[in-house]
A = this chain, B = another copy of it.
């Protein structure tokens, strides 16, 4: 069975007779338009009338029907947030930041998970299209052309993917991967593996590109492993492969995989960082709690969420879709300013990386840092897109 039914009763207390603006109007003896104005333009109604209407509304438990309102104003005050996989701890900070930012602007955020499935993604955009004022597409798995096509249906902002002609929020994982490789090379590693993530991930491509270049520049050999599922399981699954490959260091697609890999290596009796160094990407909270603490490329997820919301709302405000007053100007095409913002990443060095086979012996263990130390990623909200400036 698996479950026990505790109780099952049937009551017939009235199930919320929906109270409309008309009921309030009747109760307070005014026209419905006055009630409407009481809520959406209070300064236009006599204070005396206003309090009476408000009292009646309160009394009847009236709540404006947002769907009906949206039908005529063309704005729902909702934002859709489409995520590849909520189970990935990379996303919650982004979600929370987006929600908080949206709340300040009097917007609500609805999150939907696609299970890394491009088809679900597309369907979700369609479903959301008319119920939100815009959609944030995070780490999408569908094709760029499809994204462009969908963007004609509802305003879109893309996160973690570069789509020409669309506003994008990117994290500089290229720079991050480069720093990570340089860090490893500096520690004396010459044979490094890159644990790839999902094939359709833009981040994945960027990392391969940048890591490859950095390895060449540093005289190290880079082995590409993957694609893999971007999860702990995906990481621990390749532990054996990593051991056989004989590399002395690994850069993983994300922290989850890095942690999984460390666990997997441990199970095989391979010690981290003594025998193999591991670097992750994302700096999820967990990476500070595992043992050894994870060296990782910190991505500014919160800032990404905030920026994306800002960009969406900015783009949204100047083009009130579906409004009626479109006398003449609107029809001939709305100016849409599409900015692409790149957020910086930072290498955070902890305990999962150590000296490699080619380490210079004199190395003092404590603080061997190559490039600039990890400045605490300033949550500075980028003043995205200075408008129409052509020269950048």
Contacts and interface: CB of A to CB of B under 8 A. Distances in A.
B78 A15 contact: no
A286 B67 contact: no
Contacts of A131: 66-67, 78, 131
Contacts of A263: 289-291
Q: Contact size class for A? A: 35 or more
Interface string A5-17: 1111111111111
A15 B319 contact: yes
Given A111-B110, A130-B66, A131-B78, A5 B382 contact: yes
Contacts of A15: 152, 155, 319, 321, 333-334, 336
Interface in A250-280: 259-260, 263, 266
A335 B170 contact: no
A127 B340 contact: no
Interface string A52-87: 000000000101011110110000101000000011
21 contacts: A2-B377, A3-B307, A4-B342, A5-B382, A6-B170, A10-B335, A11-B165, A11-B338, A12-B333, A14-B332, A14-B333, A15-B336, A18-B321, A63-B126, A66-B130, A67-B67, A86-B86, A87-B285, A108-B112, A232-B289, A263-B291
Given A11-B165, A87-B92, A3 B343 contact: yes
A129 interface: yes
A308 interface: no
B6 A392 contact: yes
A48 interface: no
